[in-house]
Amino acid sequence: MTDFWETLQSAWTWSQDFADSPWFYALIFGIAMVDGFFPVVPGDVTVIVGGVSAGAGDLNILLVVLIGALGAVTGDSISYGIGRFGMHRFPGFAENRREAVAKTSRQIRVRGGPLLVTARFIPGGRTLLTLACGATRQPYKTWFLRWEVAACLIWATYNGVLGFFFGDWFAEKENGETIAFALAFGTAITIIALLELARWLRARDEVIQD
């Protein structure tokens, strides 16, 4: 866990060094894409930093959001492709993750597309889900891609706007990068929990009515 926070801090500092350059748009796209199938550094960080820079007038918040979302959709699509076309080529990899993929597949059947939206806010969890979508051959164009576009737009908007409006406050704090990530993750988890509670209550009411 310590290594994760050190990596997060390094990524935050490194991102800020380039955040006032137009080339930062490419960095947002690249990290958001790689994060989709190789979640070492959360893509959330660069989108938040992009939002901070947009708040300072160096970048355009609309471009930050759209490019972040495009990178995320691309990365998640690559993860889907690995699950669909690549996992069977690595028996050891598939065997180690077979149970996790099976559990995730059951969740996909029960909860459907909204699961992609909620999973987008969980680093690592979203990669497992997109791999499972590919491994179980969920329809790409008619189901996966549509939900992915919605999920990634919501994710990028949330993180970009967070940085845009609270960038100065993060900068004043000693561990601003940790606070920013914790706030983004904590708020997202709270929203997810409320949505899950609403889904559970609705399902319970349907059972009672039957």
94-123 pLDDT, tens digit each? 555 667 667 777 778 777 788 888 888 887
Treating both helix axes as pointing N-terminal to C-terminal, what angle do 43-55 and 2-18 enclose, rounded to 10 degrees? 40
pLDDT at 4: 47
Top pLDDT among 205 and 161 is at 161
Residue reference for tokens 């355009």: 60
Higher pLDDT, 25 or 18: 25
Does the pTM surpass 0.95? The reply is: no
Q: How far apart are CA 130 and CA 133, in angstroms?
A: 5
- Those residues whose C-beta lies under 8 Å from the C-beta of residue 151, and which sit 6 or more positions away, are 116, 117, 119, 120
Cβ(49)–Cβ(156) below 8 Å: no
Least confident window among 22-31, 49-58, 81-90: 81-90
pLDDT score for 28: 93
Q: What is the CA radius of gyration of the chain?
A: 18
Largest Cα–Cα separation, the chain: 59
Give the whole-angstrom CA distance, residue 99 versus residue 179.
Answer: 34
Q: Say if residues 145 and 77 touch (Cβ distance below 8 Å).
A: yes
Instruction: Extract the tokens encoding 20.
Output: 């006032």
Least confident of 16-25, 34-43, 85-94: 85-94
What pLDDT does 46 receive? 87
Specify whether the CB–CB gap between 161 and 61 falls below 8 A: yes
Residue predicted with more confidence, 63 or 176: 63
